[in-house]
Amino acid sequence: MSQVPQIKIPATYIRGGTSKGVFFRRQDLPESAQVAGAARDNILMRVIGSPDPYGKQTDGMGGATSSTSKTVILDKSSQPDHDVDYLFGQVAIDRAFVDWSGNCGNLTAAVGAFAISGGLVDAGRIPQNGVCVVRIWQANIKKTIIAHVPITNGEVQETGDFELDGVTFPAAEVQVEFMDPADGAGAMFPTGNLVDDLDVPGVGTFKATMINAGIPTIFLNAEEIGYNGTELQEAINGDSVALERFETIRAYGAVRMGLIKDISEAVARQHTPKVAFCAPAQNYVSSSGKQVTTDDIDVAVRALSMGKLHHAMMGTAAVAIGTAAAIPGTLVNMAAGGGERNAVTFGHPSGTLKVGAEAAQVDGEWTATKAIMSRSARVLMEGWVRIPGDSF
């Protein structure tokens, strides 16, 4: 039996928002993985523990959910007036695949802190006490994100009293601004409409708002697809028929949005687009037992990520929710009561989240200038990850 020694790679395991991921500095990766390609993908999959036919990722750092099967690579920015380049890889759990097609808004909350601690932000820009403004270039989607990271005694402050639904313990607040969050490569509403009739053969025809803001997202009316908008994970993730139905809707929506040319391509693009459904505000009990009332929220939203209902809300989907809510006539806006607004508080399975967004019409087309939300981040472990030397 041949024996291959393990190699070790400097890495940090961080919670950002309601997600967790393994963070690397590009310079610390093996040379073959410092550029895009099979070597990089293979290393990241082995670190996370994929592909795992058991769906558990026991032999890796992943946690067997879309929220915990994530990797981040940071480097000093190649862009003017930016501090750090942020590359996000969503690792599939049971298949050999890393999806580079979108951003992770939750882990964005940890990017600034890791960049500061990892020496990727010029020391002259870091105050002894106060807030360090980290200018992030999101390399997947080619967008600017601004993170406001608290600093105490010259170091990143991680502890605090900011509470985030979906995260058990309080931490320091990190405000994140997503600048010009709409897809720069095309219209924010790729079909040209605020609401479309989305025809899904074998499933039905549904009203849909398809938007590129934060992350490409397909919004549906909860009632139209047989839900009330207050569902928790077990109501959907244990229903294989429902999950297959959502995936079919996602595939046909991706074609309508111009993200793929044929529904067969959707299997290789699991991270985007997202599918979400919304409903008017109503009372419900969150997954932690917290009572959420109509006084707490403007609208109820549930979203799927990597084929499963998310336990809270993806940060990028929150940007899409906030942007859609700010535009009169979208399904999210109408579910929230209609009219103009620059902020919305929505209910998700773990509780509530407020997101601000600014949108305006320019030459007859809607555009978003900014979306803002508060998250938190905390280093869980740092040192090295080990993988067999023949993994790549």
Model confidence pLDDT, tens digit, residues 312-324? 999 999 999 999 9
Together in a domain, 108 and 45: yes
d(CA 329, CA 296): 23
What's the confidence (pLDDT) of residue 185?
Answer: 57
Residue 278: pLDDT band (50, 70, 90) is very high
Burial class of residue 251 in the structure, from the number of CB atoms within 10 Å of its CB (0-12 exposed, 13-18 middle, 19+ buried): buried
Together in a domain, 164 and 221: no
d(CA 64, CA 54): 9
Q: Rounded mean pLDDT of 166-186? A: 89
Residue 189 lies in a domain: no
Report residue 61 as tokens: 């750092």
Active site residues: 104, 314
Residue 187: pLDDT band (50, 70, 90) is confident
Residue 332 lies in a domain: yes
High-pLDDT (> 90) share of the chain, %: 94
Together in a domain, 163 and 238: no
What's the confidence (pLDDT) of residue 184?
Answer: 58
Residue 183: pLDDT band (50, 70, 90) is low
Residue 364: pLDDT band (50, 70, 90) is confident
Together in a domain, 160 and 265: no
- For the four alpha carbons of 41, 265, 19 and 321, in that order, the dihedral sign comes to positive
Crossing angle of the two packed helices 105-117 and 315-325, in degrees rounded to 10: 120
pLDDT tens string 157-167: 999 999 999 99
Together in a domain, 242 and 172: no
Together in a domain, 209 and 330: yes
What's the confidence (pLDDT) of residue 223?
Answer: 98
d(CA 190, CA 196): 11
Together in a domain, 239 and 167: no
Together in a domain, 18 and 159: yes
Q: What is the DSSP letter of 150?
A: E
pLDDT tens string 101-144: 999 999 999 999 999 999 999 999 999 999 999 999 999 999 99
CA distances from 332 to 15, 88, 329, 389 (A): 29, 27, 8, 49
pLDDT tens string 33-75: 999 999 999 999 999 999 999 999 999 999 999 999 999 999 9
d(CA 347, CA 358): 20
Residue 190 lies in a domain: no
- What's 200's domain CATH number? 3.10.310.10
Residue 271 lies in a domain: yes
Together in a domain, 229 and 171: no
Together in a domain, 214 and 155: no
What's the confidence (pLDDT) of residue 362?
Answer: 85
Residue 362 lies in a domain: no
Together in a domain, 157 and 222: no
d(CA 94, CA 210): 28
Residue 256 lies in a domain: yes
d(CA 109, CA 79): 20
Q: Rounded mean pLDDT of 333-343? A: 96
Instruction: Quickly count: other Cβ atoms within 10 Å of residue 4's Cβ.
Output: 9
High-pLDDT (> 70) share of the chain, %: 99
Residue 369 lies in a domain: no
How many structural domains does the chain have? Answer: 2
Residue 338 lies in a domain: yes
Residue 248: pLDDT band (50, 70, 90) is very high
Domain that holds residue 173: 6-181+377-388
pTM strictly above 0.75? yes
Together in a domain, 237 and 266: yes
